[in-house]
């Protein structure tokens, strides 16, 4: 709650003046246009526009001591006049701090009142009424055991129950919580398997909310996506991973670059490469008689040879240098 204390008149700051005592007002107000006041003179304080007097005295008399009595006037910012339930409307808080402004809109998009100093209704929300030993519990997002307007609380359900509804509730202007969720039993059916993969553990018939199963892939297959699938509030399983297949290299004989090293396809890469790996093929630049490399990836069983790559026949491999043995081109094409 932001109480706006506009006038705080501390008596110790009053002045004594000349031989007879005078009072000096410390705060200006539109009806104060003197700089000093005689003993017995009266001032009347008002609240600044946008603020309303809430409490305390407005009139003060300069005391024989040359001091003002303790100022007790409390000015509070005016509330948005429609801050309570606003049928078909909304309250747009631009900023929630003292002296900032809020606007109230009607549902026909016409601004009812614009730029009122924001004030919070002095409401508190009672703790949500939950049965003793409830499966639903909550914690306040702010320390303390009282909830004020716009404070929030967060709910939790005792596992394995699933929280259905909004996890957070806001203390509303009418002193009620915006919503209270419930805890329900949620089960998911036996999960289905994935292609080229398997469950890491034995699978049960039913699972409760937030229980998970984990997957692995057959040898040479690569797991993509989350390793675990979780039983969700909807009773469905969350996205499962997929197993991506290895690639055979579609040439009989060639020297390629694999993990930065030259490898003979026919000897070293007979089993192909895994999904996500890259193989670089050597291509020849005839004019400059040099060779350059072109990397191609293995994508789920597919590896496409670069267009410049020529597989060598028996004859040419006898009489000509393999591109992998040629000098590298200066700037690769
Ligand atoms: C303060 O000044 C206004 C004009 O600025 C004048 O009308 C009013 O009488 C003055 N009040 C006092 C208490 O002197
Ligand atoms: C309010 O304005 C929005 C867009 O500016 C429009 O979609 C909506 O229909 C308006 N509502 C009314 C009641 O005029
Ligand atoms: C709330 O907290 C205050 C101190 O923080 C304590 O004095 C008071 O008894 C508490 N009230 C309840 C209902 O727990
Ligand atoms: C949950 O309630 C809060 C207000 O407490 C609201 O801002 C939020 O949009 C709601 N979330 C959902 C998912 O409805
Ligand atoms: C607050 O909630 C209670 C119970 O849900 C309801 O009876 C009451 O009308 C609500 N108060 C307001 C002001 O909406
Ligand atoms: C779901 O389970 C994970 C652990 O597997 C846990 O960290 C998380 O807090 C649980 N979520 C809920 C809402 O119970
Ligand atoms: C969850 O399962 C239900 C059937 O139980 C289905 O209708 C719904 O589309 C599923 N939702 C998602 C997000 O997969
Ligand atoms: C792999 O190739 C097959 C057949 O040529 C094609 O249907 C599939 O979309 C390709 N997959 C990828 C990931 O490119």
| pLDDT tens sequence across 98-157 | 344 444 444 444 433 333 444 445 567 888 888 877 899 999 988 888 887 778 999 999
Regarding the beta carbon of 304 and ligand 8, being less than 6 Å apart is answered no
Pairwise pLDDT comparison (43 vs 152), residue with the higher score: 152
Average pLDDT over the chain, rounded to an integer: 78
In terms of domains, do 192 and 138 share one?
no
Give the model's pLDDT for residue 236: 96
pLDDT band at residue 12 using 50, 70 and 90 as cut-offs? very low
Distance 109 CA to ligand 2 centre (A): 6
Residue 74 DSSP SS3: strand
For residue 176, list its beta bridge partners: none
In terms of domains, do 8 and 40 share one?
yes
In terms of domains, do 281 and 310 share one?
yes
Separation of alpha carbons 274 and 297, rounded Å = 9
- Residue ending a domain, among 138, 164, 184, is 184
Question: What does the longest C-alpha to C-alpha distance in the chain come to?
Answer: 125
Give the model's pLDDT for residue 317: 74
**C-alpha dihedral, 62 to 64 to 66 to 67, nearest 10°:** -60
Regarding the beta carbon of 178 and ligand 4, being less than 6 Å apart is answered yes
Q: How many CB atoms lie within 10 A of CB 96?
A: 12
Distance 229 CA to ligand 7 centre (A): 15
Domain containing residue 150: 124-184
Is residue 220 in some structural domain? yes
Regarding the beta carbon of 106 and ligand 4, being less than 6 Å apart is answered no
Which mutation among 85, 174, 176 tests ligand 5's pocket best, with the greatest number of atoms within 8 A of CB?
Answer: 176
Is residue 8 in some structural domain? yes
Pairwise pLDDT comparison (260 vs 318), residue with the higher score: 260
Distance 243 CA to ligand 7 centre (A): 23
Residue 180 DSSP SS3: coil
Q: Which two tokens stand for residue 87?
A: 């049928």
Distances (CA, A) of 212 to 158, 197, 268: 17, 16, 39
- Residue ending a domain, among 176, 210, 244, is 244
Quickly tell me which residue has 């004030």 as its tokens. 119
Question: Which ligand is nearest the CA of 88, by number?
Answer: 2
Question: Which ligand is nearest the CA of 110, by number?
Answer: 2
In terms of domains, do 180 and 195 share one?
no
In terms of domains, do 263 and 227 share one?
no
Is residue 237 in some structural domain? yes
Whether 84 and 173 have beta carbons less than 8 Å apart is answered as: yes
- Residue ending a domain, among 46, 77, 108, is 77
Is residue 91 in some structural domain? no
In terms of domains, do 288 and 312 share one?
yes
What's the domain count of the chain? 4
E-state strands within 196-247: 197-199, 207-208, 212-217, 222-224, 228-230, 242-244
* pLDDT tens-place string over residues 223-249: 999 999 999 999 999 999 999 999 999
Which mutation among 300, 303, 304 tests ligand 8's pocket best, with the greatest number of atoms within 8 A of CB?
Answer: 300
Which mutation among 250, 300, 302, 304 tests ligand 8's pocket best, with the greatest number of atoms within 8 A of CB?
Answer: 302
Assign residue 212 the CATH number of its domain: 2.10.70.10
Whether 77 and 99 have beta carbons less than 8 Å apart is answered as: yes
Is residue 9 in some structural domain? yes
Is residue 116 in some structural domain? no
In terms of domains, do 219 and 177 share one?
no
- Considering Cα of 269, then 272, then 275, then 278, what sign does the dihedral take? positive
Separation of alpha carbons 111 and 10, rounded Å = 41
Within 6 A (CB) of ligand 7 lie: 234-236
pLDDT band at residue 203 using 50, 70 and 90 as cut-offs? confident
pLDDT band at residue 92 using 50, 70 and 90 as cut-offs? low
Is residue 53 in some structural domain? yes
Whether 27 and 9 have beta carbons less than 8 Å apart is answered as: yes
Residue bearing the CA closest to ligand 5, atom 5: 176
Pairwise pLDDT comparison (188 vs 113), residue with the higher score: 188
Give the model's pLDDT for residue 123: 65
Is residue 108 in some structural domain? no
pLDDT band at residue 61 using 50, 70 and 90 as cut-offs? confident
Q: How many CB atoms lie within 10 A of CB 266?
A: 13
Exposure b/e, 208-233, CB count within 10 A at least 16 = b = ebbeebebebeebbbbeeeeebbbee
Instruction: Identify the weakest region by mean pLDDT among 24-33, 44-53, 66-75.
Output: 24-33
Burial-class residue 245 by CB neighbours within 10 Å (0-12, 13-18, 19+): buried
Separation of alpha carbons 281 and 296, rounded Å = 8
Q: What is the mean pLDDT of residues 28-39?
A: 63
If phi > 0 it is left, if psi is from -120 to 50 it is alpha, else beta; for residue 205 that is: alpha
* pLDDT tens-place string over residues 243-276: 999 999 999 889 999 999 999 999 999 999 999 9
């Amino acid at each position: 709650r932001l109480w706006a204390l506009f006038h705080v008149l501390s008596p110790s700051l009053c002045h004594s003046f000349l031989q007879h005592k005078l009072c000096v007002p410390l705060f200006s107000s539109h009806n104060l246009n003197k700089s000093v006041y005689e003993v017995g003179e009266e001032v009347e304080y008002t609240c600044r526009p946008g603020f309303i007097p809430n409490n305390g005295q407005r009139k003060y008399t300069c005391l024989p001591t040359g001091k003002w009595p303790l100022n007790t006037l409390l000015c509070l910012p005016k509330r948005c006049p429609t801050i309570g339930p606003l049928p078909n409307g909304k309250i747009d808080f631009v900023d929630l701090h003292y002296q900032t402004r809020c606007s109230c809109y009607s549902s026909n998009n016409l601004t009812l009142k614009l730029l009122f100093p924001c004030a919070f209704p002095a409401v508190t929300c009672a703790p949500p009424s939950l049965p003793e030993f409830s499966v639903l519990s909550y914690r306040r997002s702010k320390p303390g055991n009282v909830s004020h307007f716009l404070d929030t609380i967060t709910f939790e359900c005792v596992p394995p129950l699933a929280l259905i509804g909004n996890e957070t509730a806001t203390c509303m202007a009418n002193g009620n919580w915006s919503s209270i969720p419930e805890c329900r039993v949620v089960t998911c059916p036996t999960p289905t398997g994935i292609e080229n993969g398997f469950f890491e553990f034995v699978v049960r018939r039913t699972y409760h909310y937030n229980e998970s199963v984990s997957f692995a892939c057959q040898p040479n297959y690569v797991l993509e996506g989350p390793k675990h699938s979780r039983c969700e509030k909807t009773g469905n399983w969350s996205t499962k991973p997929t197993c991506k297949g290895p690639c055979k290299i579609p040439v009989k004989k060639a020297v390629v670059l694999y993990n930065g090293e030259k490898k003979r396809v026919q000897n070293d890469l007979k089993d192909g490469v895994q999904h996500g790996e890259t193989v670089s093929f050597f291509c020849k630049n005839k004019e400059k008689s040099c060779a350059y490399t072109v990397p191609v990836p293995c994508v789920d069983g597919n590896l496409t040879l670069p267009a410049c790559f020529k597989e060598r026949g028996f004859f040419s491999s006898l009489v000509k240098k393999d591109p992998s043995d040629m000098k590298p081109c200066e700037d690769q094409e």
